[in-house]
Structure 1
């Protein structure tokens, strides 16, 4: 698994293209040949950019769901709604399709943020609001999620 690092501000043009920051492109260099998948986030009004290898690993897990259970079938349909294969153009820009621009309310100011093995793409104002909203509860959340003494030895 590729662990990505960094949060960057960039600009989207009128056609929905954005230039990925050089530092991020370097981290994603092994994924440039195989491309990416861009999708709607599940919990936030942002987009998620998966390197193809990460997407394929996730789809192997999703494919194990029993599709004869309505809940599973509904999940698969909603999770994959709006999914698009993406490649960077010759100038190193990422073209965000119009329907996904609309979903994430992307305007000119964009934040591209690493989220372990994927990239989140946010409208800057929505990103700042999400960070501000989470700040009050973050200490409690961190303790609940990471403060457990479990077998993995995470501390």
Structure 2
């Protein structure tokens, strides 16, 4: 499983191309030849960049959903709305499709943040606002998500 690390500030050019930071490009090198899928995030106003192997594993899981269940069908449609395949160009730039850039408010100042096996692409101001908004609730969230008292081997602190 891919385990990406880092948060990076970048700039997009007028055509919507973003130079991948060297440290991230190095981490993505093993999976870059197979391309990526870029999509709208479900919970935040940002984009998610999936290495193709990660996307295929997720689609395999989603492919097991019963399409004759209306909720499943609606979820699949909404989850995959606007999905596009993308690649890094020869100089390591990612071209963000205009419709997806508009969804995320991505224009010039961008924050690229890793989230385990995917990359989130944010408008810099929206990213900082999301981090600041969550700061007060993070301790409670950490306890709810990671604070299982029966899981002594995997505690963070």
- The TM tier, using the shorter chain, reads over 0.9
Whole-Å separation in 2 of the counterparts to 1:20 and 1:85: 16
Are 1:78 and 2:78 matched, yes or no? yes
Q: Which runs of 5+ in 2 are unaligned?
A: none
Q: Which runs of 4+ in 1 moved over 4 A?
A: 150-153
Corresponding residue SS for 1:39? strand
The alpha carbon displacement at 1:104 in A equals 0.2
Matched, 1:15 2:10: no
TM-score by length of 2: 0.96
Unaligned runs of 5+ in 1: none
Q: Does 1:52 align with 2:52?
A: yes
Task: Identify if the C-alpha distance between structure 1 residues 52 and 141 changes in structure 2 by more than 3 Å, giving closer, same or farther.
Answer: same
Quote the residue 1:110 is aligned against.
110
Deviation for aligned residue 1:91: 1.4
Residue equivalent to 1:125: 125
Larger mean Cα displacement after TM superposition, 48-57 or 144-153: 144-153
User: RMSD between aligned alpha carbons?
Assistant: 1.1
Aligned-partner Cα distance in 1 for 2:37–2:149: 35
Q: Does 1:134 align with 2:134?
A: yes
State TM-score, norm by structure 1: 0.97
Write out per-residue CA displacement over residues 31-86 of structure 1, whole angstroms, 9 at most, x where no aligned residue. Answer: 11100000000000000000000000000110000000000000000000010000
Per the TM alignment, residue 153 of structure 1 is displaced from its structure 2 partner at its CA by 4.3
How many residues get paired? Answer: 155
Once the 2 structures are TM-superposed, how far is the Cα of residue 144 of structure 1 from its aligned partner? 0.4
Aligned-partner SS, 2:34: coil
Q: What is the SS of the residue equivalent to 1:60?
A: helix
**Structure 2 residue aligned with 1:92:** 92
